[in-house]
Chain A
Amino acid sequence: MAGPKGDERAWVRGAQAGNASDFEALFRAHWPSAYRAAYLVVHDTAAAEDIAQEAFLAAVRNLDRFDRRRPFGPWLHRIVVNRAIDWSRRRALRGEVELHDAPVEADAADVGSETVAAMRRLSPEHRAVLVLRHLLGYTPGQIARLLELPRGTVNSRLRRGLDELREHL
Chain B
Amino acid sequence: MRLDVPIPPGAEERAHRVAMAAFASHRPAPKRRNHWRPAIALAAVAAVVGVLASPPGRSVIHAIREAVGVKKAQKELFALPAPGRLLVNSQAGAWVVEQDGSKRLLGPYREASWSPFGRFVVALKGDELVTMEPNGKVHWTLARPGLRLPAWGGRHDDTRIAYLSSRNLHVVAGDGSGDSARCADGVAQVEPAWQPGSLSMLAFAANDRVAVYDVTSCRQLFVRTTPSPRRLEWSRDGKLLLVVSGIGADVYDLDGNVVAERVGVRDATFVGRTHRLAVLRSADVYDLGSQPLFHADGLRQVVSSPDGQWLLLTWPAADQWVFVRVASPHTIRAFSGISSQFGGGKFPEVSGWIGK
User: Hey, what's the 0/1 contact readout for B1-16 against A, CB within 8 Å counting as 1?
Assistant: 1111111100110111
| Per-position binary interface string of chain A over residues 54-69, scored 1 when its CB falls under 8 Å from any chain B CB and 0 otherwise | 1011101101100000
Stretch at the interface among B20-28, B47-55, B229-237: B20-28
Does B209 sit at the interface, judged by CB under 8 A?
Answer: yes
**Which chain A residue shows the least CB distance to B186?**
A90
Is the CB of B219 closer than 8 A to any CB of chain A?
Answer: yes
**CA A50 – CA B258 in complex, angstroms?**
10
Whether A20 lies near B220 (C-beta < 8 A) is no
Decide: A31 near B20, CB < 8 A? Known: A40-B3, A110-B6, A115-B3. no
Interchain CB contact under 8 A, B1 and A31: no
**B130-168 interface with A by 8 A CB criterion:** none
User: Which residues of chain A are within 8 angstroms of B258 by Cβ–Cβ distance?
Assistant: 46
Q: How far is the CB of B22 from chain A (nearest CB, A)?
A: 5
**Residue contact B2 to A57, C-beta cutoff 8 Å:** no
Q: Does A83 contact B (CB under 8 A)?
A: yes
Q: A18-B27, A35-B11 are in contact. Are A57 and B227 (CB under 8 A)?
A: yes
Closest to B27 in A: A18
Given contacts A18-B28, A96-B220, A99-B221, whether A36 and B3 have CB atoms under 8 Å apart is yes
Query: Which chain A residue has the least Cβ–Cβ distance from B28?
Result: A18
User: Mostly helix, strand, loop or mixed at chain A's interface?
Assistant: helix
- What is the bound-complex CA distance between A53 and B13, given in angstroms? 11
Contacts of A115 in B (CB 8 A): 1-3
Chain A contact residues (Cβ within 8 angstroms of B): what range?
Answer: 35 or more
B345 at the interface (CB under 8 A from A): no
> In the assembled complex, how far is the CB of residue B293 from the closest CB belonging to chain A, in whole angstroms?
26
The reply to whether B219 and A99 contact each other, CB–CB distance below 8 Å, is yes
Within 8 A of A (CB), among B214-231: 218-227
Q: A35-B12, A91-B223, A96-B219 are in contact. Are A27 and B19 (CB under 8 A)?
A: yes
CA A161 – CA B24 in complex, angstroms? 41
Nearest CB of B to A89, in Å: 12
Q: Are B23 and A15 in contact (CB under 8 A)?
A: yes
A100–B256 CB distance below 8 A: yes
Within 8 A of B (CB), among A1-18: 15-18
Instruction: Give the distance in Å from the alpha carbon of A43 to the alpha carbon of B218 in the complex.
Output: 22
Let me know if B100 is at the binding interface, CB within 8 A: no
Minimum CB–CB distance from A152 to chain B (whole Å) comes to 22
Query: A49 in the interface, Cβ–Cβ < 8 Å?
Result: yes
Q: A91 to B222, alpha carbons, bound, how many Å?
A: 10
Question: Assuming A36-B7, A53-B15, A57-B247, is B219 touching A97 (CB within 8 A)?
Answer: yes
Given A35-B7, A49-B11, A90-B209, are A60 and B223 neighbors across the interface (CB < 8 Å)?
no
In the complex, the answer to whether B23 meets A46 with C-beta atoms within 8 Å is no
The docked-state distance in angstroms from the alpha carbon of A25 to that of B335 is: 48
Which of B218, B225, B227, B263 has the most A CB atoms < 10 Å from its CB? B225
B331 contacts partner chain A, Cβ-Cβ < 8 Å = no
| B127 touches A (CB below 8 Å) | no
Query: Nearest B residue to A162 by beta-carbon distance?
Result: B1
Q: Map CB proximity to A onto B324-336 as digits: 1 under 8 Å, 0 otherwise.
A: 0000000000000
Is A147's beta carbon under 8 Å from chain B? Answer: no
- Interface status of A149 (Cβ within 8 A of chain B): no
Report if A50-B220 is in contact (Cβ < 8 Å); known contacts: A27-B20, A32-B7. no
User: Counting CB contacts under 8 A, is A116 at the interface?
Assistant: yes
Q: Does B255 contact A (CB under 8 A)?
A: yes
Q: How far is the CB of B129 from chain A (nearest CB, A)?
A: 26
Report whether A53 and B224 are in contact in the complex, using a CB–CB cutoff of 8 Å: no
- Are B227 and A113 in contact (CB-based, < 8 A)? no
**Given the complex, which residues of B lie within 8 Å of A94, measured CB to CB?**
220
Contacts of A60 in B (CB 8 A): 19, 22-23, 26
CB<8 Å pairs between A and B, sample of 11: A17-B28, A24-B16, A46-B222, A46-B224, A53-B18, A57-B263, A90-B223, A96-B218, A96-B219, A134-B1, A135-B3
Besides A35-B5, A50-B224, A113-B2, 15 new A-B residue pairs in contact (Cβ under 8 A), listed by A number: A15-B23, A18-B30, A23-B19, A31-B16, A35-B15, A50-B225, A53-B18, A57-B22, A60-B22, A90-B209, A98-B221, A99-B221, A115-B1, A119-B3, A130-B1
Lowest 6 CB-CB distances: which A-B pairs, in order? A50-B225, A18-B27, A56-B19, A36-B5, A134-B1, A60-B22
